[in-house]
Structure 1
Amino acid sequence: MKYYIILVLITSLFQHAFSQDSTKQNNALLLDYYQNQRFDLAADYLKQNNHEPITNIKILKALAYCNQMNGKLPEAETYYERVYAIDSTSTSVLYSLGSINLRRGNEINAEVFYKKIIAKDSTNFIVYKQLAKISLDKKDVILAVNYLIKANKLNPEDADVASDLGDMYISMKAYNAAEKVLNRAIIADPENMILLQSLVKLEYNQKKWSETANNCEKLVLLGNQSSSILTQLGIAYYNLNEYKCGIETFGQIADMEQTETTYYFTGACYKALKDYDKAISYFQKTITQGISPNINSYYSEIADTYETLKKYKKAEIAYQKALQFTETPITWYSLANLYDTELKNKSSAIKYYKKFLATKPAKNQQNYIAYAKSRIELLSK
Structure 2
Amino acid sequence: MKILNLIIICCLFTTITFAQQKDPKTDSLLVEYYQTQRFAEAADYLKKIYPEPVQNPKIISQLAYTSNMAGRLPDAEGYYQRLYDVDSTSQSTLFSMAGINMRRGNNTKAASFYKRILKIDSTNFNVYKQLALISQSDVVAELGYLQKANHLNPQDANIAVDLSTLLIQFKQEATAEKVIDQALQADTANLLLLKGKAQVSYTLKKFVQTINICSKLLANDDRSSQTISYKGISEFNLKNYSDCIKTFHMLDTTQAQNESSYYYLGMSYKALKQDTKAIFYLQRAIEQAISPNTDTYYSEIADSYDRLHLPKKALAAYQRGLIFGEKPIVYYAMASIYDSNLKDTMNAVKYYKKYLSVKPPVEKQQSYIDFTTRRIVDLKR
TM-score of the aligned structures, taking structure 1 as reference length: 0.91
**Inter-CA distance 4–129: structure 2 relative to 1 (3 Å threshold):** closer
**Inter-CA distance 299–133: structure 2 relative to 1 (3 Å threshold):** same
**Inter-CA distance 310–44: structure 2 relative to 1 (3 Å threshold):** closer
1:8 Cα deviation (Å)? 4.7
Is 1:247–2:249 an aligned residue pair? Answer: no
* Per-residue Cα deviation, 1:93-116 (whole angstroms, up to 9, x for no partner): 110000011111111111111111
Is 1:204–2:202 an aligned residue pair? Answer: yes
Q: Which moved more, 1:76-85 or 1:5-14?
A: 5-14
Which secondary structure does the structure 2 equivalent of 1:173 belong to?
A: coil
CA RMSD, 1 decimal: 2.2
| Structure 2 counterpart of 1:339, one-letter code | Y
**Inter-CA distance 8–325: structure 2 relative to 1 (3 Å threshold):** closer
Is 1:215–2:217 an aligned residue pair? Answer: no
Aligned partners of 1:6 and 1:31 also within 8 Å: no
1:153 Cα deviation (Å)? 2.0
Q: Which moved more, 1:168-177 or 1:302-311?
A: 302-311
Matches within 5 A, 1:74-89: 74-89=74-89
CA–CA distance in structure 1, aligned partners of residues 290 and 281 of structure 2:
14
Which secondary structure does the structure 2 equivalent of 1:253 belong to?
A: helix
Which secondary structure does the structure 2 equivalent of 1:51 belong to?
A: coil
Which secondary structure does the structure 1 equivalent of 2:24 belong to?
A: helix
Which secondary structure does the structure 2 equivalent of 1:327 belong to?
A: coil
Aligned partners of 1:269 and 1:279 also within 8 Å: yes
**Inter-CA distance 228–3: structure 2 relative to 1 (3 Å threshold):** closer
| Structure 2 counterpart of 1:174, one-letter code | Q
Give 2:269's aligned residue: 270
1:282 Cα deviation (Å)? 2.6
Which secondary structure does the structure 2 equivalent of 1:92 belong to?
A: helix
Matches within 5 A, 1:1-381: 6-19=8-21, 22-24=24-26, 26=27, 28-137=28-137, 139=138, 141-254=139-252, 257-362=256-361, 363-381=363-381
CA–CA distance in structure 2, aligned partners of residues 358 and 33 of structure 1:
76
| Structure 2 counterpart of 1:292, one-letter code | S
Aligned partners of 1:162 and 1:185 also within 8 Å: yes
* Per-residue Cα deviation, 1:229-276 (whole angstroms, up to 9, x for no partner): 212211011012111121122222258533322222112111211112
Which secondary structure does the structure 2 equivalent of 1:18 belong to?
A: helix
Which secondary structure does the structure 2 equivalent of 1:258 belong to?
A: coil
1:5 Cα deviation (Å)? 6.5
CA–CA distance in structure 2, aligned partners of residues 54 and 309 of structure 1:
73
Gaps of 5+ in 2: none
Aligned partners of 2:352 and 2:376 also within 8 Å: yes
**Inter-CA distance 372–248: structure 2 relative to 1 (3 Å threshold):** farther
Aligned partners of 2:259 and 2:288 also within 8 Å: yes
| Structure 2 counterpart of 1:226, one-letter code | S
**Inter-CA distance 256–310: structure 2 relative to 1 (3 Å threshold):** farther
CA–CA distance in structure 2, aligned partners of residues 315 and 122 of structure 1:
63
CA–CA distance in structure 1, aligned partners of residues 9 and 162 of structure 2:
37
Aligned partners of 1:267 and 1:281 also within 8 Å: yes
| Structure 1 counterpart of 2:334, one-letter code | L
CA–CA distance in structure 2, aligned partners of residues 313 and 88 of structure 1:
71
CA–CA distance in structure 2, aligned partners of residues 278 and 288 of structure 1:
15
Aligned partners of 1:295 and 1:325 also within 8 Å: yes
1:134 Cα deviation (Å)? 1.8
CA–CA distance in structure 1, aligned partners of residues 10 and 232 of structure 2:
55
| Structure 2 counterpart of 1:252, one-letter code | M
| Structure 2 counterpart of 1:10, one-letter code | L
Gaps of 5+ in 1: none
1:308 Cα deviation (Å)? 2.9
CA–CA distance in structure 2, aligned partners of residues 265 and 160 of structure 1:
31
| Structure 1 counterpart of 2:64, one-letter code | A
Aligned partners of 1:14 and 1:23 also within 8 Å: no
CA–CA distance in structure 2, aligned partners of residues 309 and 21 of structure 1:
85
1:172 Cα deviation (Å)? 1.5
| Structure 2 counterpart of 1:172, one-letter code | F
Aligned length: 377
Identity over aligned pairs, percent: 46
